[in-house]
Structure 1
Amino acid sequence: MIGDVLKRMRIIYGYKASEMSSELGISASYLSEIENNKKQPSLDLLQKYADIYGIRLSSLILLSENMEEAEKSGKGTAFIRNMMAHLIQNMSAATGDPDEE
């Protein structure tokens, strides 16, 4: 579900729930409902997430779809590990981390 992906990305990027809700312009309770898959975010809200993370909306949606498929096939944990490693690598490249050169 998209809420799982959004929550994991928030944590990976180092945002507290209160910070993310403020960035998105939504209440903390609404963010919690999204992250716990009780509410589905609108496309406009997903675009805000994509902007915050510096990715395309289509990439965010594809990531969610791929994660759902991986979880159904029993490969969810491996998918999450790979996703986290890829995100960390991208973040290091974006910040010019000297360890990555």
Structure 2
Amino acid sequence: MEVRPQQIGARGQGRETYARGMSEHPRLRAIPGGLDESARPNGGQSPSGPGERRPAGARKPADREPLWREALGEQLRALRLEQGEKLTETAGRAGISPQYLSEVERGRKEPSSEMIAALAGALGISLGGLTLQVAQELRRRQLASFARTSVPQRYSGQALLSLAA
């Protein structure tokens, strides 16, 4: 039996739509401030150059909120190093390649929940425990960032308490 493109297209899409859908892929874009920006040829600068102005209220790259995959990777690496393990040992127990674990630890890959559970198990922690640690670290960073940006330097200590009252 011959399969024709119009038979395969979703919800009555014709041959043109099917052919276009199979040959075109969505263009992926880097998240602003993400780790991937450092790999740009112009040193992480946006295409319009270093003189570009940020919108009001935009964070500096150093102050940006970390991505979940970055915080997860940092937590996994910290747990592995606390236990004095090599990348290959942890990766072997989790059933993944050392290269993949390295990319996860550097925040380059976003592992599935099954993969995170395998890594957590290999490090002797539950999936819930690991998730909680990552969430607490993200919250700590958020609070530290808020404290740095929301309280003027002139208000501190007793003066700050009197303002709050």
- Alignment TM-score, normalising by the size of structure 1: 0.65
Unpaired runs of 5+ residues, structure 1, are 76-101
Matched, 1:40 2:110: yes
Cross-structure match for 1:96: none
Mapped contact 1:3–1:40 kept (Cα < 8 A): no
Larger RCO (CA under 8 A, 6+ residues apart):
1
Rg larger for? 2
Distance 2:81 2:115 in 1: 18
Q: Give secondary structure in 2 for the equivalent of 1:73.
A: helix
Encode CA deviations 1:40-90: one digit per residue, 9 max, x unaligned: 121111211232333321111111011112123338xxxxxxxxxxxxxxx
The number of residue pairs the alignment matches comes to 75
Distance 1:10 1:41 in 2: 17
% identical equivalent positions = 31
Cross-structure match for 1:20: 90
Matched, 1:30 2:103: no
Q: Which of 50, 73, 80 is equivalent to 2:120?
A: 50
Unpaired runs of 5+ residues, structure 2, are 1-70, 146-165
Root-mean-square deviation over aligned CA pairs = 1.7
Runs ≥4 residues deviating over 3 A: none
Output the amino acid matched with 1:26. I
Distance 1:35 1:43 in 2: 15
Distance 2:98 2:92 in 1: 8
Select the structure that is richer in helix: 1
- Alignment TM-score, normalising by the size of structure 2: 0.42
Distance 1:25 1:43 in 2: 14
Distance 1:29 1:55 in 2: 22
